[in-house]
Chain A
Amino acid sequence: MDASQYADLFLTESREHVSAMNQWLLQLERDGAAGSAEPISAIFRAVHTVKGMSATMGYVVVAELSHELETLLDRVRRGELPVNGELMDLLFRSADVLESAIEGAVAGRDVSTTEVLRRLRAFAEPGVNVASDRSTGSDDASPNEWTAPAPVGSGTLVRIRLAPETPLKGVRAFLIVQALRRVGDVVIVVPPVASLQAEQFGHDFALRIVTTSSEAEIERGTRGAGDVASVRVGEDDAQKMGQAPSVAEARRAPSPAPATLPSDDASAPAAPIGDLRDEIMTSRMVPVWQVFDRFPRLVRDASRSLGKRIEFTIEGKDIELDRSMLDEIGDPIVHLLRNAIDHGIEAPEERTAAGKAPAGRLKLSAARDRSAVVIRVSDDGRGIDRDRVLARAKVSGLVDSTKAALNDEELLRLIARPGFSTAERITDLSGRGVGIDAVYTRVRALGGAVDIRSQPGQGTTATLRLPLTLAIVRALLARAANEVYAIPLTHVSETVELQAAALRTLQGSEVIVLRADVLPVLRLRDLVGLERRDCAAGARSDRRSRPASTDRARCPSPRW
């Protein structure tokens, strides 16, 4: 079946499971082996679900990795393998690789999992090798031979062969035996039921049943349990043994398709509904934890690699934001968290020397404030070094060279300046780069605002104020040839009333002189590709515009 229509759903849900896995791993790491039962089961469940979904999607790399991971976790769960540092490292690593394998699978990229698979198998090695006993089965035997010895005893002999591709054939065999128990008294089964369940048989097995039912009823009962390739009821005829199956042995025809079986064609009429669902999903409000939940892991890794101790807390995880907004806001938050970890929070010794607790505090919070969501990243680190920012600003000629200090607004304006923090990258002030300008630009594009407050020695708080949803955009409405267009206000820097006389022509293009700058003039009608008829009326209304607020920029109301 065509699984591609489920790819988005798969991706969303798999990400949530990987995220859950990371959460539980952190808890497992914190609580250690003593409290491992709950996290291990939860991780097992997450991995198990990913396995099922990926196998269904045909993402073999993901399925294989999650299968190995699941096998390992199952053994940990049963106490056969220890919960130790090595396991933790391996599980964290596996979570990362699993995540990239998932992203890769959906994007159609191959992600190598060889290394982590090898480590997973090596960790599980000391115990029994589950995979190796497969070869002891009689899979090599031709599926056309009856291989099970005929059990001796009273009752009617029934030989059953399963279809070669039967999934979980042990369970299927068990189901068949169960079904026959409703037909009569099953007195003996070869191989025994326990071996059948353990899949220790080839494709066929035999049993004896004491019953008053006819042979045909026995056969019907057997086939009714599913996946039966052939059944033979009655004593073996010595001549037939070992022969190719007779025609009478009626191999089961490949799945008789019910009239309503969905074919590939059937997915076509379903597509509009799928589109509708996608539409609803993309515009729905989602809780911020969908993005926030990956941060504890990030903070852990970053602080470890820097030798810092950080107590990270998250508040307001259930606050909801427009999904598209949430997708956009992840990176800026990562920037802010990384800043706090890299530059804000000091090393334990430095903190102790400054009279602070050795572990730094880092908090990420979300809160509703009227029609906005306020996201705040705060740390109790050393604060932004204003002197260095000031010095740099003086060098770049951004502030007067006699300026003695920066207030909060000036500081923010400087570090939010495009290129300012980029320039900082080459200094040790910011190491990997502050990226505040990137945060600022992104948040502004979303119609939000950024505020940063920093106290020397006491920490930094960055506040992002975001509109609840992107579905409501303040827009400038403009009419061209009787069509109304909405231009998001975030992209409007200024509106100017133009007199026709102010238009000049420069190298064949219309321009105006605004203050000291020569600006090209583009007519809305041309931009959106409308025909240039109705010129006189159009020219006037072109220039008339006023800011307005409209529900949904996608379908602006034409009435104003």
Chain B
Amino acid sequence: MSHTVLICDDAIFMRTMVGDILSQAGFEVVGEAETGLQAVEKYRQLKPDLVTMDIVMPDMGGIDAVREICKLDPAARILMCSAMGQQALVVEAIQAGAKDFVVKPFQPSRVLEAVQRVLG
């Protein structure tokens, strides 16, 4: 059975690209969220195997969303999607419970490696 993924990013562009990378690798994208609030809500509904989480989003950023999701499910597997120059935020996200991170610009191989680590 393929792993289910929830993709959280406020940019359709990023959601599409991450979604394409993951679905081409055999993952099943079960949901997308544009805001942190949506991310938490969709996590609750969908209970995905993996969450990709943008850091900067309106209505609750990615880090707070990680915190909330980990409260719901301490075993949640969350991969942070970050831009260059956000080290402090990524560290915060990991302290909040995220398992790994990838840095934009995304290379499919890197995204998939990180996903393997998170799921492994």
Binding site for B on A (CB under 8 A): 1, 3, 6, 9-10, 13, 42, 44-45, 48-49, 51-53, 55-58, 67, 70-71, 167-168, 170-171, 174-175, 178, 197-199, 224-226, 255, 257-258, 260-262, 266, 270
Contacts and interface: CB of A to CB of B under 8 A. Distances in A.
A34 B90 CA distance: 30
A49 B108 contact: no
Contacts of B26: 260
Contact of A224 (B87, B103, B117): B117
A262 B108 contact: yes
Contact of B120 (A70, A224, A262): A224
In terms of DSSP, what is the predominant structure of the interface of chain A? helix
Contacts of A10: 13
A107 to B, nearest CB: 18
Contact of B56 (A49, A225, A255): A49
Nearest to B12: A13
A1 B108 CA distance: 7
Nearest to A197: B91
A55 B16 contact: no
A53 B11 contact: yes
B25 A52 contact: no
B82 interface: yes
10 contacts: A13-B11, A44-B56, A52-B11, A55-B104, A57-B105, A167-B84, A168-B101, A170-B87, A171-B90, A175-B94
A270 B120 CA distance: 28
A53 B112 contact: no
A48 B56 contact: yes
B85 A67 contact: yes
B112 A270 contact: no
Given A262-B21, A262-B25, A270-B24, A53 B14 contact: yes
Contact of A168 (B21, B87, B107): B87
B89 to A, nearest CB: 9
Interface in B44-69: 56-58
A13 B84 CA distance: 20
B83 interface: yes
Contacts of A167: 84, 102-103, 110
Given A45-B10, A53-B13, A270-B24, A261 B103 contact: no
Given A52-B14, A56-B105, A226-B113, 14 more contacts: A1-B108, A49-B14, A52-B11, A52-B83, A167-B84, A168-B101, A170-B91, A171-B101, A174-B94, A226-B117, A255-B113, A261-B25, A262-B21, A262-B24
Contacts of B101: 168, 171, 175
Given A13-B11, A53-B14, A260-B24, A171 B108 contact: no
A51 B14 CA distance: 11
A13 B12 CA distance: 7
Contacts of B107: 1
Interface in B83-100: 83-88, 90-91, 94, 100
A338 B55 CA distance: 41
Contact of B84 (A57, A58, A67): A67
A320 to B, nearest CB: 18
Contacts of B112: 258, 260-261
Contacts of B84: 55, 67, 167-168
Contacts of A198: 87
Given A52-B83, A67-B85, A171 B91 contact: yes
A240 B112 CA distance: 35
A49 B91 contact: no
B66 to A, nearest CB: 14
Contacts of B94: 171, 174-175, 178
A266 B88 CA distance: 36
Contacts of B105: 52, 55-58
Contacts of B58: 42, 45
A168 B12 contact: no
B27 to A, nearest CB: 9
A272 to B, nearest CB: 14
B117 A225 contact: yes
A168 B100 CA distance: 12
Contacts of B116: 258
Contact of A197 (B10, B88, B110): B88
Interface centre among B11, B16, B117 (most CB of A within 10 A): B11
A170 B91 CA distance: 9
Contacts of B56: 44-45, 48-49
B17 interface: yes
B65 to A, nearest CB: 15
Nearest to B21: A262
A270 B20 CA distance: 9
B13 A55 contact: no
Nearest to A258: B112
A178 B93 CA distance: 13
B13 A13 contact: yes
B117 A56 contact: no
Nearest to A263: B108
Interface centre among A71, A225, A257, A258 (most CB of B within 10 A): A258
Interface centre among A52, A56, A197, A224 (most CB of B within 10 A): A52
Interface centre among B17, B26, B86, B113 (most CB of A within 10 A): B17
